[in-house]
Structure 1
Amino acid sequence: MQPHPLRRLHGLLLLLCLHGAAAGELRLDAPEDIRALLTPWLDAQATSPRRLQTAASDMLATEGYFSPRFQFEETDGALRLTLDPGPRTRIDSLALTVDGPVSPETRAALEAEWRLPVGQPFRQADWNAAKQQVLAELLAEEHADARLLDSQAEIDAERQQAHLRAHYDAGPRYRFGPLRIEGLTRYDPALVARYNSSVTPDAPYRERDLADLLTALQGTPYFASVQAELLTAESETLDADTRRAPVLVRLRERQPHRLALGGGFSSNTGARVEGNVHTADLFGQAWELDTGLRLEQKRQTAYGDIFLPPDAKQRRHSLGLMGERSDIQNLQTERLAFGVQQVQQRGSIEQRLSLQWQRERREPADAEMVISRALVPNAMWTWRHVDSLLEPRQGQVLQMQFGGGSKAAGSDQNFVRLHGRVQQYFSLGTHTVLALRGELGRTYADNRLHIPQDYLFRTGGTGSVRGYAYQSLGIREGNAVVGGRYLAVGSAELTHWLDEQWGIAAFIDAGDAVDRLSDARLAVGYGLGARWRSPAGPLGIDLAYGERTGKVQLHFALSIPF
């Protein structure tokens, strides 16, 4: 086997350094792109022009230069190489042959997407990539046995022409057969079927459908590892061109019970300690129980939620109970809530339907205590169209929410609540992102009395209007800030990444929560921040100035779109 040209050149240069007959500095005079190709390997003293010429010729050939001209001269103890790479060889013809039952549309797509078309300069790396791309596309759609039979790049150095030929055997078309599941001891195979919405028996085999099944199973709390493959060796023949093969899913179950302890700090609610108990097999039914206690400086919460596996329509149901106490902006609240929820992913839209009952006792400083009860059906839709869920650079996220309560159905007040948020990302070059955010809300009611704070609006703090304390923008009641019936928030943030880990940001936020539109006076905050790419997403540390208060606030946030 011949050594790689780069290794060969490097070794030859080392020999040249040790030769010693006419040791001196090697100077290269060549076009800029050729110098960039060869210079990393010409940092030693060279004494053998013949060997240097041979190795450099091999390297140039990989870039399509097959007739270079070399001129050596020694001046002032230095070896000077003047290199003319000559004309570059370009693709003159392509013969792409695919045997097997491939549709005319697929054949046309393979030729149209070929990475090394006629007229383009020949490069060995591009030639290898182009061949692999065709094979990968065949393997990804129906043809799980596709293979490259033969390939050849014929170079005519005199005419600077390359004639390419690649011959593939697509093999038969495959369809999915039944699932075979291995590795289950605790759970029933029906659990796997409930998470499978992509691999359907008798549907055409697609690699991405198998990947979707893996992603769905890996995202559950039940399995520590998941593997899946199409068993082509055990396929059955449907017709001359088509076979059906079973899908083998290998699973390793995760320990169902987990205890977690943690702590942290939030610029909104202060220091935090938390304990959490999770089980993935409550009552032996593969129900998830997630319960815990979270103690923050400004809020204390006890909660318990039960999540059921998805149903046949991929809807996931849950029920939960929560008790909470908080003291934020001199407003003390105690609330008890119970609710049921249904979550369904419908393409790029996530739908959440819920029904929640809650009782709230709120006591503003220097004002009258109020008890509010509400039974609220609520619907929320979130549409995500971004290039990355954790760190978007381009795209949109839109969320709409609608809910309300009625005195005739267990609520102390009639009201309807509407809320919407939008986030837009623009990529401004390789390292810079502009993010725009807007939020509007309105609660339709005769007055805000006896409506729980969850269904009114306060703003300020991390994630809303920076430069102001958490939930400090709202309605003054006594010496406290309570929720109003109107909300408006807007934000613009420009982030520039300095390297792979760190970035800087400049931002301006504006917003307010009021009880009457005539009272609206947007509070403006602006400042600078640092960004760090953590494993969970970009972490932000912001220093913001609030114009209304004339104060500076420090904010911490995990910058993940809602």
Structure 2
Amino acid sequence: MRYFPGCYHGRARWLAVLLACCLLYLSCYGVVLAASSAEKEKKPDPVQVAIIAPASVKKLLEKYITLPAKPFVDDIGQAAYARKIRQESIELLATEGYFTPEVAFGEEKGNSKVYELRITPGPRTRVATVSIEFQGELATDEPEHRARVEQLRAEWPLKPGKVFRSARWEDAKSALLTSVADRDYATARIVDSQAKVDPDSAQAALTITLDSGPAFRYGELQITGLSRYQPDVIQNSVPFRPGDPYRREQLLAFQAALQNSQLFNAAAVSVKPDVGQHEAVPVIVTITEAQSRHIGAGLGFSSNNGARGEINYRDYNFLGRTWNLSSLLRLEQKRQTFLARVDTLPDARRYQYSFGARIEMTDIKNLKTFNQRVDFSRMRTTAHSFWQAGINWQREEREPSGAPNTVNETLALDFWYRYHDINDPVNVRSGFVSEVRLGGGSRYALSDQDFLRSYARHQHWFPVGKRDTLYFRAEAGYTLAPSRLGIPQEYLFRAGGIQSIRGYDFLSLGVREGNAVVGGRVLATGTAEYVHWLTNDWGAAVFADAGDAADRLKKFDLALGYGVGARWRSPAGPFALDLARRHDTGTLRLHFSIAVAF
């Protein structure tokens, strides 16, 4: 290879010149970019507008009027905005009953950068007269129609002397129409409505004419969407009969009952607003059937029974008869349960039948039990009550630590009644739940002991202030029998733990038998609790529980637990985490639970 030193140095010089030019170009381009970026980042100063108006309308104006997006280019731009903001202000104030406002927009005196929007709203318009007229069947001269018309006029909210607002006017008309259309008159409509406002006198004259149309009565059901089930699964839930007068609330209750049924994914109930069929309007029921078989599994933990795992199976069309088969295998640290149950669908009077079998093993406070049970019952459920009467046979093997093992058998009759009236079935704030149970067996009918068990419980929620709740619970039970021996634990009583006496271990209060705690014949416990809700979902509680379970009233020794807790309205139900102190020993115990206990 030949070497030419002159050529090498020439090339190097040219490369150096080229590199210097590139650097100079990039430097100049960077300066241009920086200048361009600085220009983009520099924003014009915002236009400052001071609203001068009475406090009654100032917040409304501040919330809804449109402020200038950029400074005015010239006087023409300022004048155009002044016209625009004046029109906006007049329209906005009119919705609140101010129809003669004075609006002025201009520069603040001595400051060309600040503008003033000065508003004098003027007198507020009030209702002077109200005329509500009716057409259709409701306007006929019948005593019941006259009484209803008088009631509708008396319930009209915008009475003379009231402030006239557009929103109130629309709400009042809507409420009047709904009140008529929800009962009897499914095709009711407003044929004319006027609100004549006199700005000079600041008064409004209201007139409204409503045509009720004919009164509707129910006809036959027209059901679509059924393929797996027979029509009686829907007909048994109907709260009305053909020929009954139309009530929208009944349609909504009927629809809710179908939607809450496990047989359907969706349900819609309506009537066809056909005036020609008003004497027997068809009730249209459209449903979407759900899958009839379901398998589920879950994991959990309870401060009462420890860790839990379960698997369940349901068949809502058992044997093709729309019976509900439910089975459950639940494994807990202190309790293991397997059960299977078949429930019929409620009939037209809301009665249904249930047959079940259960095997359960427990190991609680040194008492081991192995229980086998079969039962048959008749039930009735309504919107506020539950009633059940049945018969069950069970065999129980007891192994108390430090005491002889025993086997108890009984054939018992059971009765259970519960009534509730609460504002919300998940997050209760007001209302009550009461229940009574009665059951017993006899030596003359396959029982090892004569006994009669009675039990009552009452829970009451009182709303305090805007969000807080005061809660009381009381329960009492007594088993009338010559002795507790020979009676299964289900018909005796123990106390302690969640929904009993916090601060004590689960079912730790009862009768000592060897080293174990077994059920006694007497029970009484109570709770007082106050929950202060810090937000809509989170709250703090203070509580006190008291009571005991014993074999005789003379052995009854009051136990007391108290403490503080946290509350959370979770998607699955109300969650409670409590730290409770046992009064006699000072022991602290943590309890937690989820869902309302009724």
Common fold by TM > 0.5? yes
CA distance in 2, matches of 1:419, 1:93: 61
One-letter code of the match for 1:367?
A: A
CA distance in 2, matches of 1:418, 1:33: 63
Cα 1:84–1:232 change in 2 (3 A) is: closer
1:97-108 matched pairs, under 5 angstroms:
97-102=133-138, 103-108=145-150
Structure 2 residue 252 is matched with structure 1 residue 184: no
One-letter code of the match for 1:25?
A: Q
Give the corresponding residue for 1:486.
522
Give the corresponding residue for 1:372.
408
CA distance in 2, matches of 1:354, 1:549: 43
Structure 2 residue 103 is matched with structure 1 residue 61: no
CA distance in 1, matches of 2:286, 2:220: 14
Cα 1:58–1:500 change in 2 (3 A) is: same
CA distance in 2, matches of 1:206, 1:41: 41
Give the corresponding residue for 1:39.
62
Give the corresponding residue for 1:86.
122
Structure 2 residue 565 is matched with structure 1 residue 529: yes
CA distance in 2, matches of 1:379, 1:322: 19
One-letter code of the match for 2:483?
A: N
CA deviations over 1:300-335 (Å, ceiling 9, x no partner)? 000000001113421011010000001011111110
CA distance in 2, matches of 1:140, 1:199: 15
Indicate conservation of the 8 Å contact 1:389/1:561, yes or no.
no
Give the corresponding residue for 2:255.
214
Partner SS for 1:408: coil
CA distance in 2, matches of 1:220, 1:258: 14
Task: State which of 168, 171, 180 in structure 2 corresponds to 1:129.
Answer: 171
Deviation of the 1:49 alpha carbon: 4.3
One-letter code of the match for 2:507?
A: Q
Structure 2 residue 52 is matched with structure 1 residue 29: yes
Partner SS for 1:106: helix
CA distance in 2, matches of 1:206, 1:175: 9
Partner SS for 2:180: helix
Give the corresponding residue for 1:271.
307
Deviation of the 1:520 alpha carbon: 2.1
Give the corresponding residue for 1:145.
187
Structure 2 residue 197 is matched with structure 1 residue 174: no
Q: Which moved more, 1:389-398 or 1:432-441?
A: 389-398
Cα 1:474–1:30 change in 2 (3 A) is: farther
CA deviations over 1:201-227 (Å, ceiling 9, x no partner)? 000011111112112222222112112
Cα 1:420–1:444 change in 2 (3 A) is: same
CA deviations over 1:33-76 (Å, ceiling 9, x no partner)? 32221222468468654433331221111011112234666144
Deviation of the 1:498 alpha carbon: 2.0
CA deviations over 1:227-266 (Å, ceiling 9, x no partner)? 2221233853xxxxx5211112112211111111111111
One-letter code of the match for 1:98?
A: F
Partner SS for 1:367: coil
Structure 2 residue 97 is matched with structure 1 residue 74: no
Partner SS for 2:274: helix
Indicate conservation of the 8 Å contact 2:340/2:358, yes or no.
yes
CA distance in 2, matches of 1:358, 1:217: 36
Deviation of the 1:191 alpha carbon: 2.1
| Structure (1 or 2) with the greater helix fraction | 2
Partner SS for 1:174: coil
Unaligned runs of 5+ in 1: 1-19, 237-241
One-letter code of the match for 1:31?
A: P
CA distance in 1, matches of 2:266, 2:321: 21
CA distance in 1, matches of 2:544, 2:66: 50
Q: Which moved more, 1:494-503 or 1:451-460?
A: 494-503
CA distance in 2, matches of 1:549, 1:540: 24
CA distance in 1, matches of 2:147, 2:182: 15
Cα 1:351–1:387 change in 2 (3 A) is: same
CA distance in 2, matches of 1:344, 1:359: 28
CA distance in 2, matches of 1:69, 1:31: 12
Deviation of the 1:345 alpha carbon: 2.6
Give the corresponding residue for 1:388.
424
One-letter code of the match for 1:32?
A: A
Indicate conservation of the 8 Å contact 1:234/1:246, yes or no.
no
CA deviations over 1:479-531 (Å, ceiling 9, x no partner)? 11111111111111111222222222221111211112222222111122222
CA distance in 1, matches of 2:501, 2:203: 63
One-letter code of the match for 1:260?
A: G
Deviation of the 1:23 alpha carbon: 6.6
Indicate conservation of the 8 Å contact 1:326/1:334, yes or no.
yes
> When the two structures are superposed, what TM-score results if normalisation uses the length of structure 1?
0.91
One-letter code of the match for 1:190?
A: D
Indicate conservation of the 8 Å contact 2:65/2:85, yes or no.
no
Give the corresponding residue for 1:228.
269
CA distance in 2, matches of 1:53, 1:231: 48
Structure 2 residue 234 is matched with structure 1 residue 200: no
Indicate conservation of the 8 Å contact 2:65/2:89, yes or no.
no
Cα 1:501–1:23 change in 2 (3 A) is: closer
Structure 2 residue 352 is matched with structure 1 residue 316: yes
Q: Which has the larger radius of gyration?
A: 2
Taking only the aligned residue pairs, the percentage that are identical comes to: 40
Give the corresponding residue for 1:95.
131
Deviation of the 1:84 alpha carbon: 3.1
Q: Which moved more, 1:162-171 or 1:40-49?
A: 40-49
One-letter code of the match for 2:90?
A: S
CA distance in 2, matches of 1:178, 1:161: 51
Give the corresponding residue for 1:354.
390
Partner SS for 1:473: coil
Task: State which of 492, 501, 523 in structure 2 corresponds to 1:465.
Answer: 501
Indicate conservation of the 8 Å contact 1:115/1:129, yes or no.
no
Query: What root-mean-square deviation, in Å, do the aligned CA atoms of Structure 1 and Structure 2 show?
Result: 2.0
CA distance in 2, matches of 1:84, 1:513: 74
Task: State which of 547, 566, 575 in structure 2 corresponds to 1:539.
Answer: 575
One-letter code of the match for 2:267?
A: V
Structure 2 residue 178 is matched with structure 1 residue 111: no
1:364-443 matched pairs, under 5 angstroms:
364-443=400-479
Aligned length: 537
Give the corresponding residue for 1:256.
292
Partner SS for 2:137: coil
Cα 1:131–1:42 change in 2 (3 A) is: closer
